[in-house]
């Protein structure tokens, strides 16, 4: 596939990610912080987000499967997940975290379970899309091209 075509795919994909609300303006901020001296900044930070999220989602499953659920601990984990999703612009994950925290505050266990399922789903969706985006970037660079300016 030639570079032009890859670049067009990249633009289509990232435009869809913004349009469908997976990403917000904070992701653009990350892109702006990437330059020749830090060519992998976005991938680095997003990879940290993946690691962080997987650890937190695991912890959340554990805390919510206890007989007596410690809502403060649930809230602390969700607070962290909300923070890191906001920091990379993973808007839909962040939005579920906001509902999740409300359920915690109301001590609504059913609601918390629902939010956990939702946030897991949103997380794996955005992870898949971002990995596809980074895959395209690698192909573009391998083909001698550069990333289009957004």
Partner 1 sequence: MAVASEAPFHVLAVDDSLIDRKLIERLLKTSSFQVTTVESGSKALEFLGLREDLERPSSATSCQHEIEVNLVITDYCMPEMSGYDLLKKIKESSAFKDIPVVIMSSENVPARINRCLEEGAEEFLLKPVKLSDMNKLRPHILKGKSKEDQQRSNSNNTIDFSTINSGSRNNKRKANEEGLSPERTRPRFSNNSTNSLTVL
Residue numbers of the site for partner 1 (CB under 8 A)?
A: 26, 29-30, 32-33, 35, 38, 41, 44-45, 48-49, 52, 79-80, 82-84, 86-89
Distance, in Å, from the CA atom of 98 to the CA atom of 93, rounded to the nearest integer, reads 9
Residue 107 CB, nearest approach to partner 1 (Å): 20
Tokens of 83: 């923070």
Residue 134 CB, nearest approach to partner 1 (Å): 17
Closer CB to partner 1, 6 or 119, in the complex: 119
Closer CB to partner 1, 47 or 121, in the complex: 47
Closer CB to partner 1, 12 or 51, in the complex: 51
Distance, in Å, from the CA atom of 11 to the CA atom of 148, rounded to the nearest integer, reads 7
Q: 21: Cβ–Cβ under 8 A, 6 or more apart, which residues? A: 91, 92
Residue 29 CB, nearest approach to partner 1 (Å): 6
Closer CB to partner 1, 32 or 121, in the complex: 32
Residue 52 CB, nearest approach to partner 1 (Å): 6
Residue 4 CB, nearest approach to partner 1 (Å): 30
Residue the block writes with tokens 């794996």: 124
Closer CB to partner 1, 7 or 91, in the complex: 91
Distance, in Å, from the CA atom of 7 to the CA atom of 10, rounded to the nearest integer, reads 5
DSSP states of 4-48 = HHHHHHHHHHHHHHHHTTSB-HHHHHHHHT--TTSTTHHHHHHHH
């Amino acid at each position: 596939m030639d570079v032009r075509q890859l670049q067009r795919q990249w633009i289509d994909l990232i435009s869809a990610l913004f349009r469908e609300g997976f990403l917000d303006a904070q992701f653009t901020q990350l892109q702006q912080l990437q330059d020749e001296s830090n060519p992998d900044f976005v991938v680095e930070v997003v990879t940290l987000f993946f690691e962080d999220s997987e650890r937190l989602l695991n912890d959340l499953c554990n805390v919510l499967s206890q007989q007596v659920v410690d809502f403060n601990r649930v809230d602390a984990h969700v607070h962290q997940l909300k923070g890191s999703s906001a920091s990379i612009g993973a808007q839909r994950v962040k939005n579920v975290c906001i509902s999740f925290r409300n359920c915690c505050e109301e001590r609504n266990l059913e609601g918390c379970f629902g939010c956990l399922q939702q946030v897991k789903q949103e997380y794996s969706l955005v992870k898949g899309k971002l990995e596809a985006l980074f895959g395209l970037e690698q192909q573009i660079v391998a083909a001698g091209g550069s990333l289009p300016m957004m």
